[in-house]
Amino acid sequence: MKFFVDTADVDAIRELNDLGLLDGVTTNPSLIKKSGRNIIEVTKEICEIVSGPVSAEVTATDAADMIAEGRKLAKISGNIAVKVPLTLDGLKACKTLTDEGTMVNVTLCFSANQALLAAKAGATFISPFIGRLDDNSYDGLDLIQDIRTIYDNYGFETQILAASIRTVNHVKDCALIGADVMTAPPAVIKALANHVLTDKGLDAFLEDIKSAGIKIL
Ligand code: G3P
| pLDDT averaged per 10 residues in sequence order, the chain, 217 residues | 98 97 97 98 98 98 98 98 98 98 98 98 98 98 98 98 98 98 98 98 98 98
Q: How many CB atoms lie within 10 A of CB 61?
A: 12
Instruction: Write the DSSP symbol of residue 87.
Output: S
How many angstroms separate the alpha carbon of residue 164 from the centre of ligand 1? Answer: 4
Given the residues 83, 95, 120, 190, the one annotated as active site: 83
Ligand 1 pocket: which of 5, 6, 107 to mutate (most atoms within 8 A of CB) = 6
Ligand 1 pocket member 164 (CB < 6 A): yes
The pLDDT of residue 153 is 98
The pLDDT of residue 189 is 98
The pLDDT of residue 90 is 98
Number of alpha carbons in the 13 Å side-chain half-sphere of residue 115: 27
Ligand 1 pocket member 131 (CB < 6 A): yes
How far is the C-alpha of 129 from the C-alpha of 68, rounded, in Å? Answer: 26
> Hey, is 61 helix, strand or coil?
coil
CA nearest to 21, candidates 45, 50, 63: 50
pTM beyond 0.85, yes or no: yes
